[in-house]
Structure 1
Amino acid sequence: MCILFIAVNQHRDYPLIIAANRDEFHQRATAFGHWWGTQPPILAGKDLVAGGTWMGITETGRLAALTNIRDPERQNDEAVSRGKLVTDCLKNNHTTTEFMHILKATRTKYNGYNLLFGEWHDLHVYNNHINELVSLDEGVHGLSNAALNSPWPKTTKGMQALSDYCQRHASLHSEALFDILRDDVKASDHELPRTGVPYHWEKLLSSTFIVTPEYGTRTSTVLMINQQGKVTWEERYFNAEGTKIHSDHFSFTLV
């Protein structure tokens, strides 16, 4: 998962809204979203290479999602797959303090990541590069391939779009949230972050929705939880041309 826009208590009907894109190499085998046969059951897609996932939720509303930190100088090709962190969070009923001890103790085993995790009404973000935990306050947050709410053009643009939509519309529609995720406008050269990748890739990766033959936005996910605890989970999957090839819709009430 490479970008998430998160609205906490920004709409009267939906205390939590997440709009997220997963960017990945197109050759990496992936299963569409489904209920895993685990205890507790997990709703998520699956990385068929390493067995983990990029975002998921349980029947009780435990939630986790991952973004990579872009820092090629610190890349370790022998590191453990970061998708395991999401499944570990969802499968185990650790308290925040317990899970933080685990994350801190194992943080050097993984390449850079941000992990969003917790109960849906009490979410936190852990960044293993700076070894920092941040609790999500009320507001709109953006999480891409740097620290939480870093002012990258696509992050601030998406945060503003989500904030505006929540404030201006009494009824929310997932199509408008998917439109935010579909933004393929690249940042101006002077706005580009400097993360250590070549200019060509910095430019390609500067849009919310990414299309290249090798790497791009594979999945867009919209998650909404209303005041009554009803969860709506919608996903769209894309090919290397950015064409939608599959969509899923799940709805359930938290137990």
Structure 2
Amino acid sequence: MCVAAVAWHADRDWPLVVAGNRDEFHARASAPLARWEEAEPMIAGRDLVGGGTWLGVSENGRFALVTNFRVPEGSQPGRPSRGRLVTDLLAGRAPEEIEAMNPFNLIHCDLAQAFYLGNHPVRHEPLEPGIHGLSNGGFDVPWPKTRRVEIALARFIAGKCQDESALFASLRDASAPPAAVGIAGPEAHLAPVFIEDETYGTRCSSLVMVDRNGHGRIVERSFSPQGEESQWREFRFEWR
């Protein structure tokens, strides 16, 4: 039940700011944020099962983020990995086999243009400047957890992107939404921004920041199955 907010040209000084959580089975093997030794330089975590990634930046000026789109029948085995979408876009390649993949939501951008891409149904459309929420439902649907991250990101930007501790604290929010929202049953377990569960839960929180001069940072906080911070990794990059 991943959740993220992407601020694209929502602020003059910070044309790209992204904050989000990756939720996944803790048993699914992953490598932490790192510079990849590929033909196209990129910085991302790595899904060691599918071979792709969920979020990353190209050092040539691209960003991409993918989440799954939850459907009643669940993900079907044997389909192409959605993580390839991110690595293809970061490398400047047009993704293939989109319709054959399990349902997904994706945002990709550079400093000149931004797009939403999805396959349930297939959509590829430009985004206007502003803050866009991404989760496992319809794009920009105001689910409570998505709105919480959007609001936290807006406050972070309004504070000139200086108080990262407050932003990461918002991504660590494991509180349930108000009962008035009406989320119950199995969905209630997935409703918090940060999911604490030893089987399936929040694996990492990510922050991406690029200023108007193209100076960028990408930060990843990883968490154990018990919800404890296990690693902090940060890389700097330049977009020209």
The two structures share one fold, judged by TM-score above 0.5: yes
Partner of 2:46, secondary structure, is strand
The counterpart of 1:236, out of the listed 200, 203, 221, is 221
Change (3 A) 1:37 1:170: closer
State the shift of 1:61 in Å. 1.4
Q: d(CA) in 2 for partners of 1:173 and 1:130?
A: 38
The counterpart of 1:174, out of the listed 151, 164, 167, is 164
Which consecutive segments of 4 or more residues in structure 1 shift more than 6 A? none
Alpha-carbon RMSD across the aligned residues, in angstroms, is: 1.9
State the shift of 1:135 in Å. 1.9
Q: d(CA) in 1 for partners of 2:73 and 2:29?
A: 27
Counterpart residue identity of residue 149, structure 1: D
State the shift of 1:142 in Å. 0.5
Q: Counterparts in 2 of 1:122-133, with a 5 A limit?
A: 122-133=113-124
State the shift of 1:192 in Å. 4.8
State the shift of 1:165 in Å. 3.2
More helix per residue: 1
Q: Is the 8 A contact 1:152 1:192 kept in 2?
A: no
Q: Is the 8 A contact 1:192 1:202 kept in 2?
A: no
Q: Where does the alignment leave 5 or more consecutive residues of structure 1 unmatched?
A: 194-198
Counterpart residue identity of residue 238, structure 1: F
Residues 136-168 of structure 1 show CA distances to partners (whole Å, capped at 9, x for unaligned) of 21111110001221021111222122223323x
Q: d(CA) in 2 for partners of 1:83 and 1:113?
A: 10
Higher mean C-alpha displacement, 154-163 vs 238-247: 154-163
Alignment length (residue pairs) = 240
Q: d(CA) in 2 for partners of 1:74 and 1:233?
A: 31
Q: Is the 8 A contact 2:156 2:163 kept in 1?
A: no
State the shift of 1:127 in Å. 1.4
Counterpart residue number, 1:196: none
State the shift of 1:180 in Å. 2.1
Q: Is the 8 A contact 2:156 2:164 kept in 1?
A: no
Q: Where does the alignment leave 5 or more consecutive residues of structure 2 unmatched?
A: none
Residues 28-66 of structure 1 show CA distances to partners (whole Å, capped at 9, x for unaligned) of 111111111101111001011121110111111111110
Higher mean C-alpha displacement, 16-25 vs 106-115: 106-115
Counterpart residue number, 2:138: 147
Question: Taking every aligned residue pair, what percent have the same amino acid on both sides?
Answer: 37
Residues 91-138 of structure 1 show CA distances to partners (whole Å, capped at 9, x for unaligned) of 2x24xxxx3xx55xx233111101112324412111100212232211
Q: d(CA) in 1 for partners of 2:125 and 2:173?
A: 27
Q: d(CA) in 2 for partners of 1:24 and 1:44?
A: 16
Higher mean C-alpha displacement, 118-127 vs 24-33: 118-127
Q: Is residue 109 of structure 2 the alignment partner of residue 115 of structure 1?
A: no
Counterpart residue number, 1:7: 7
Residues 166-221 of structure 1 show CA distances to partners (whole Å, capped at 9, x for unaligned) of 23x2352322221221121212455256xxxxx54311111111111100110111
Q: d(CA) in 1 for partners of 2:193 and 2:21?
A: 8
Q: Counterparts in 2 of 1:178-217, with a 5 A limit?
A: 178-192=168-182, 199-217=184-202
For normalisation by structure 2, the TM-score amounts to 0.92
Partner of 1:81, secondary structure, is coil
